Structure formats: C-alpha cells, structure tokens
C-alpha cells in the first residue's frame, strides 16, 4: 500500500517540479549546504492532498537538505491545526 503522499512524491510531474525548485534555489534554506537537497512542504503534504490544496504551490515549498528535512518533517506532521499555516 502506498500512501497518497508517497504516490505524489514519486510522480514524474512532482519530480520535475522539485528538480526545477532545487535548481533555482541550490542550497538548504536552514543550514545552507548544497548537497542532498529536497523540497519540503511547509504545510504537511498529507493535509494538502486530503483537502484539495495545491501541492505545487511554491509558497508552500522550501528547499532543505536531507538532514534538515528529517528534522522538519515530524514537527510539521504534529502541527495541531495546519489550516493556521495556510492563513498568511
Ligand atoms: Zn540543511
């Protein structure tokens, strides 16, 4: 069984977008390293997909290295009310 998030992140369309994002922002937004860059969703991807929000919205994406991404992910998933994050 694949989660909707995994299906999304493995999709060709998303990989192309992620590649473009990291190409235009080739360093980690937190520690500045330029290796193992990944695109982090500041609003949990599961929430975006479940609520019909646009997972390609660049305002919700942040370039992080693998290490910072691991640290960022659990915090985002534990966010009590992701809706608050969408209100800017
Ligand atoms: Zn980093």
Which tens digits make up the pLDDT trace of 11-48?
999 999 999 999 999 999 999 999 999 999 999 999 99
Query: Could you tell me the pLDDT band of residue 2, with boundaries at 50, 70 and 90?
Result: confident
Query: Could you tell me the pLDDT band of residue 73, with boundaries at 50, 70 and 90?
Result: confident
Tell me, in angstroms, the distance from the centre of ligand 1 to residue 72's CA.
Answer: 10
pTM of the model: 0.78
Angle at 76 between CA 83 and CA 27, to 5 degrees: 115
Token match 């975006």: residue? 48
Q: What is the DSSP letter of 65?
A: E
Q: Are 77 and 44 in contact (CB under 8 A)?
A: yes
Tell me, in angstroms, the distance from the centre of ligand 1 to residue 1's CA.
Answer: 30
Tell me, in angstroms, the distance from the centre of ligand 1 to residue 43's CA.
Answer: 18
> What is the residue-averaged pLDDT of the chain?
88
């Amino acid at each position: 069984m694949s989660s909707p998030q995994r299906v999304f992140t493995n999709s060709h369309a998303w990989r192309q977008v992620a590649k473009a994002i990291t190409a235009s922002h080739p360093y980690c937004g937190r520690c500045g390293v330029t290796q193992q860059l990944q695109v982090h969703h500041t609003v949990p991807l599961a929430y975006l997909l479940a609520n019909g929000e646009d997972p390609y919205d660049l305002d919700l994406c942040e370039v992080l290295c693998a290490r910072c991404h691991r640290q960022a992910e659990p915090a985002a998933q534990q966010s009590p009310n992701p809706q608050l994050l969408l209100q800017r």
